[in-house]
Structure 1
Amino acid sequence: MTRPLSKLLGTAQAPPRSATGYVLWLLFVGNLLNFYDRALPSVVLEPIKDEFGLDDTRVGILASAFVLVAAAAGVPLGRLADRIPRAKVAGWGLFAWSAFTAAGALLPGFWGFFASRVGVGVGESSYGPATGSLLSDLYPSERRSRANSLFMLGFPIGTLLAFLTAGGLAVAFDSWRAPFLAAAVPGVVVALLVLRIREPERGAAEPVPGAGPGRENRAASLRSLLKVRSLYGMLVAFAGYNFAAYAVGTFLTPVLQRWYGLDLVAAGAVGGVVVGLTGLVGLLAGGRVLDRAARTSPAARTRVATACLAGAAVFSLIGLAADQGSLWQLVVFLSLGYMLGIVYLAAAVPVVSDVIGPEQRSGALGLMFAVGYLLGGAGGPVLVGALSDALAAGSASDAASAHGLQTAMTITVPLAFAVAAVGMLLTARSVQADRDSMLAREATA
């Protein structure tokens, strides 16, 4: 008989009414829908591009529309989650982005679709900061990477499902809009369940006296967050990782179609393997390894994440540099790079939770997501698209378009993973001191 998820992970203190395993499972499902909805435009990008007459630069801008809004909304929504129940912020955000996903299939014209993606960005910007803080109160530091890796399985599984189903739905209904309507229904149902979560007290999992139930909320200013030195390295790492992940998520299907000649359904299946199955393996294995390292020290966890990001830079370069006759090289080595890179996601929230007090975590995570989305999530698709068009300038041929996009990806994705590795290395130098300072403040508050 399978043991309950909460026993597999362990908890410091269970939430008062909702079972720990149930909360983690429900938040995971919401995160799965989060990334499913995010991935939909990428999977059916070529039909969207043809209908609206877009070049790669405008495709990048379209892909970044919701990310830019998420960056702007992340900080205030994160701070809001430091003041009101986090389940309310996450639940209403889920409801909002599901409604806007459906609107993307119904609103006419390019600007209608653009506006719907902006609305999706507002809704999704609330989810990560609120749920990251909530999970940190369900599990102690040495268990958080594994819990967060299970939560973040929503990324590869949601992306995989999008790659495997969106193309088929578009073909079956002869419209790229069909997947957007189908995605909205489960989102509304899960949002209603998230709104009913009864969450734990803030600080319930911290190993200091007075950090548990009954503490007065002391949400602090943004200025105080910026005094935490290791947070700067995390901002660099999150921006670098998001640049690489969003560039791959946006343009992998077009690369497979243009450079390797695959049709929409086949490209979706191959893309699902690269960013879905390998991400699943990376998070499951990475969570265990990171928590094992965290039992030694918080710095050990960040060093493991640094090594994984450095490996991602090397393997993604080998994969993306494959010529047109070596699809196997792209699949094998980009999959390895993506698998190593995604380990970072199992470390990001736990590292922030190690150095930021319970009353500030949603705001700190909102800041990290905002910077990561602005510089990475938005910058990745835009810069790759612009570089692709620049490399193909002067030629309207399909071959030039294919070579320009493949070259742009080969240059930018490995470099972004390398920047993320540098950020985590910087974090490792100060995370232990910041952890000690945070615990000392909490003990005397």
Structure 2
Amino acid sequence: MARPLTKPPDRPSASRSSAGYVLGLLFAGNLLNFYDRALPSVVLEPIKDEFGLDDTRVGLLASAFVLVAALAGIPLGRLADRVARTAVAGWGLFVWSAFTAAGGLLTTFWGFLASRVGVGIGESSYAPATGALLSDLYPSERRSRAHSLVMLGFPIGTLLAFLTAGGLAEAFDSWRAPFLIAAVPGVAVAFLVLRIREPERGAADPARPAPPPPHQSRRSSLLSLMRVRSMYGMLLAFAGYNFAAYAIGTFLTPLLQRYYGLSLVAAGAVGGVVVGVTGLIGLLAGGRVLDRAAGRSPEARVQVAAVSLLAAAVFSFAGLVAGRGALWQLVVFLSLGYMLGIVYLAAAVPVVSDVIRPEQRSGALGLLFAFGYLLGGAGGPVCVGVLSDTMAADSASATEASARGLHGAMLTTVPLAFAVAAIGMLLAARSVRGDRDSMLSGETTP
């Protein structure tokens, strides 16, 4: 039986300036999130040389970070449903900044791996807590734009890492220098995030059901999330998108160096264009398009994201199939694919906020990110690394084998992963209207 709707108690609403301040601050934290996350990928070849790694172990290094982030995301997301989300996000930012600095100090492979695990734990707190917090500052029809602005930290942070990390490493004659420098602004932003005033949960929803009974167990709360049918499509989509995005983020610079013969700084600059500039355009344009679609119907936003992901699969294949003499083809078409694929990020959190109760949103986002990171973010680098080494084993020349193996692995996996993500969004589109109606009416989806 449906429960009566309840509205949030009357209170002064956050002003546009205060919401804008929070939005800008969360963007800054997210920029540092992805800057710190991208650093090993940019200086991967020097790290590989110092520790004597093959591509399989490089993939495992990247995946260890993602695996820990995924596992920590579920309890930290649920924690953010019970305590101030600003505290979870702020302390998480402080923790990952400290471990980023540790990565620049530790001198063994296992020490460096442990530092990346610490970064993963800290960063896993940020997206679930801030995603739910933003959903309480902006109504549904404005959430894609708000979240797309915060998610600009992804392409801008990655772009800055690609453009600066190689230069810093060469300037200080050490790949460790960027890790130490990046920690300083992280601590400062963490302090400011901790001072944000927590908004009331569900404040931006038109109406919300009465809160669940106090005796409801954590297990039953988690099971109630899995009764939301559109979540299954969202989980598949996030896994597919992360597989492609992390494969590109981990191995694009080595691909440009090995297969196309670019220097570290040149490869970083080209990689910055592919994953930074185009990602910036995709999120800015995508947020507006998705919010307009959401104004028509709840499922329209999901359908637009699905079409963008399908186009990303086509364009990324057209780019990665390019031979050594056609670097322009790789840059143009992989950039288009990345730009269209990243539109998904402007849809993911708003869609979850449309179908999940306010007091469960951080936990639901933690589950979404965990699943996507486990199957996609961790699976992408490992699968590409293993496939690269397997393909390389068929060639007599080690240098040539390494180049061709990585090229073949990227071509095989990245377009397919984008296509899987598109299928997930199409599945979610079939249920999102009913799930939203059930959430607003207080019913539980059967």
- Which of the five TM-score ranges fits, normalised by the shorter chain? over 0.9
d(CA) in 2 for partners of 1:350, 1:211: 21
d(CA) in 2 for partners of 1:196, 1:18: 16
1:374 matched to which residue of 2?
A: 374
Q: 1:429 is matched by which residue type in structure 2?
A: R
2:433 matched to which residue of 1?
A: 432
Q: 2:329 is matched by which residue type in structure 1?
A: Q
Secondary structure of 1:322's match? coil
CA contact (8 A) 1:86 1:134 kept: yes
1:65 matched to which residue of 2?
A: 64
Against the structure 1 CA distance between its residues 277 and 191, is the aligned structure 2 distance closer, same or farther, given a 3 Å change threshold? same
1:80 matched to which residue of 2?
A: 79
2:135 matched to which residue of 1?
A: 136
CA contact (8 A) 1:160 1:273 kept: yes
CA contact (8 A) 2:85 2:133 kept: yes
Q: 2:312 is matched by which residue type in structure 1?
A: A
Secondary structure of 1:207's match? coil
Q: CA deviation at 1:15?
A: 3.6
Within a 5 Å distance, the mapping from 1:236-275 to structure 2 comes to: 236-275=236-275
Secondary structure of 2:380's match? helix
Query: What is the TM-score of this pair, normalised by structure 1?
Result: 0.94
2:123 matched to which residue of 1?
A: 124
Q: 2:433 is matched by which residue type in structure 1?
A: Q
Within a 5 Å distance, the mapping from 1:110-121 to structure 2 comes to: 110-121=109-120
Within a 5 Å distance, the mapping from 1:35-434 to structure 2 comes to: 35-208=34-207, 221-394=221-394, 395-434=396-435
Query: What is the TM-score of this pair, normalised by structure 2?
Result: 0.94
Q: 1:76 is matched by which residue type in structure 2?
A: P
Q: 2:163 is matched by which residue type in structure 1?
A: L
**Where does the alignment leave 5 or more consecutive residues of structure 2 unmatched?**
1-10
CA contact (8 A) 2:209 2:442 kept: no
Q: CA deviation at 1:65?
A: 1.4
CA contact (8 A) 2:236 2:424 kept: yes
Q: CA deviation at 1:442?
A: 7.9
Against the structure 1 CA distance between its residues 210 and 333, is the aligned structure 2 distance closer, same or farther, given a 3 Å change threshold? same
CA contact (8 A) 2:93 2:186 kept: yes
Secondary structure of 1:360's match? helix
d(CA) in 2 for partners of 1:339, 1:217: 46
Secondary structure of 1:260's match? coil
Q: 1:24 is matched by which residue type in structure 2?
A: L
Q: 2:173 is matched by which residue type in structure 1?
A: D
Deviations 1:154-182 (A, max 9, x none): 00000000000000000000100000001
d(CA) in 2 for partners of 1:113, 1:200: 38
d(CA) in 2 for partners of 1:282, 1:209: 32
Q: Which moved more, 1:266-275 or 1:14-23?
A: 14-23
Deviations 1:25-57 (A, max 9, x none): 000000000000000000000000000000000
d(CA) in 2 for partners of 1:413, 1:110: 28
Q: 1:360 is matched by which residue type in structure 2?
A: Q
Q: CA deviation at 1:14?
A: 3.8
d(CA) in 2 for partners of 1:43, 1:135: 31
Q: CA deviation at 1:211?
A: 7.3
Deviations 1:239-291 (A, max 9, x none): 00000000000000000000000000000000000000000000000000000
Deviations 1:356-394 (A, max 9, x none): 000000000000000000000000000000000000015
**Where does the alignment leave 5 or more consecutive residues of structure 1 unmatched?**
1-11
CA contact (8 A) 1:302 1:424 kept: yes
d(CA) in 2 for partners of 1:13, 1:217: 31
Q: CA deviation at 1:17?
A: 11
d(CA) in 1 for partners of 2:344, 2:390: 32
Q: CA deviation at 1:74?
A: 0.5
Deviations 1:335-372 (A, max 9, x none): 00000000000000000000000000000000000000
Deviations 1:292-346 (A, max 9, x none): 0000111000000000000000000000110000000000000000000000000
CA contact (8 A) 1:278 1:338 kept: yes
Q: CA deviation at 1:221?
A: 1.4
CA contact (8 A) 2:210 2:442 kept: no
Against the structure 1 CA distance between its residues 211 and 179, is the aligned structure 2 distance closer, same or farther, given a 3 Å change threshold? farther
Against the structure 1 CA distance between its residues 228 and 321, is the aligned structure 2 distance closer, same or farther, given a 3 Å change threshold? same
Deviations 1:110-166 (A, max 9, x none): 000000000000000000000000000000000000000001000000000000000
CA contact (8 A) 2:42 2:253 kept: yes
Against the structure 1 CA distance between its residues 14 and 329, is the aligned structure 2 distance closer, same or farther, given a 3 Å change threshold? farther
d(CA) in 1 for partners of 2:255, 2:12: 47
d(CA) in 1 for partners of 2:17, 2:51: 46
Q: CA deviation at 1:107?
A: 1.1
CA contact (8 A) 2:279 2:338 kept: yes
Q: CA deviation at 1:217?
A: 12
Q: 1:91 is matched by which residue type in structure 2?
A: G
d(CA) in 2 for partners of 1:209, 1:253: 47
d(CA) in 2 for partners of 1:249, 1:183: 18
Amino-acid identity (%): 78
